[in-house]
Amino acid sequence: MKGSRKSFMQYAHVPSAIISDGILPIPLWSVTQLSLSETYHLPPIGSTAHRAIVATHDDTVTLAGVLVGVERFAWKFALETMAEASKRGTALAAMSGGAVGGLILVTSMTIRTDMQVQSLSFTASATRREVLDVSITMIHVPRPSLLGKLLDVASIGVGALSDGLGK
């Protein structure tokens, strides 16, 4: 049929990354680059052995990928909406009574809750039609609690389980 436009994405495959607010998942099908940066804090000189429950490191995840097909503008809008929600409060925060907040990020490298979008950019090019390049930088902003640590540990199990299912 000439003139009809169909997406060339095959949605039966597992996406490279998923960003969710606890209700709406946004699949990123074509992640071309993923990096995780962890910056560890040193204790102040002369500090005591007694420590308050504070974050010991800052995590930053950067994703680069493409939004393809006729759905690319819908995915762009969803990512922009999710980025705003990560700052104002998500469905996950409302459902957990504030115990867990931010966005959920699921990738082959890491599974994290309490993520906030630090930067989001889109690029269009005349040489690549029907494609939007996307770059997302997210920071991990966990609440200092035992629940946050338990979720981090649980994500390791979920990641191992998903690797086993993929084989």
The per-residue pLDDT for range 54-94, each reduced to its tens digit, is 556 788 999 999 888 888 999 999 999 999 988 887 777 77
109 pLDDT band, cuts 50/70/90, is confident
Report yes or no on 1 lying in a domain: no
Report yes or no on 5 lying in a domain: no
129-165, pLDDT tens digit by residue?
A: 889 999 999 998 877 666 666 666 666 665 665 555 5
Domain coverage including residue 116: 17-36+56-165
Helices H / strands E in the chain, number of each: 3, 7
Q: How far out from the chain centre does Cα 82 lie?
A: 10
Reduce the DSSP state of residue 63 to 3 states and report it: strand
Report yes or no on 45 lying in a domain: no
Report yes or no on 119 lying in a domain: yes
Reduce the DSSP state of residue 160 to 3 states and report it: helix
Distance CA 121, CA 17 (A): 17
Paired with 30 in beta bridges are 66
Q: Which residues are CB-contacts of 96 (< 8 A; sequence separation ≥ 6)?
A: none
Tally of domains in the chain: 1
**Strand runs (DSSP E) across 6-102, as ranges?**
17-20, 25-28, 30-40, 57-68
Report yes or no on 49 lying in a domain: no
Average pLDDT over residues 22-34: 88
Report yes or no on 160 lying in a domain: yes
Report yes or no on 12 lying in a domain: no
5-25, pLDDT tens digit by residue?
A: 555 555 556 788 999 888 888
Mean pLDDT of the chain: 78
User: Nearest to residue 22, comparing CAs of 86, 80, 78, 91?
Assistant: 91
Q: For residue 163, what pLDDT is reported? A: 59
Report yes or no on 103 lying in a domain: yes
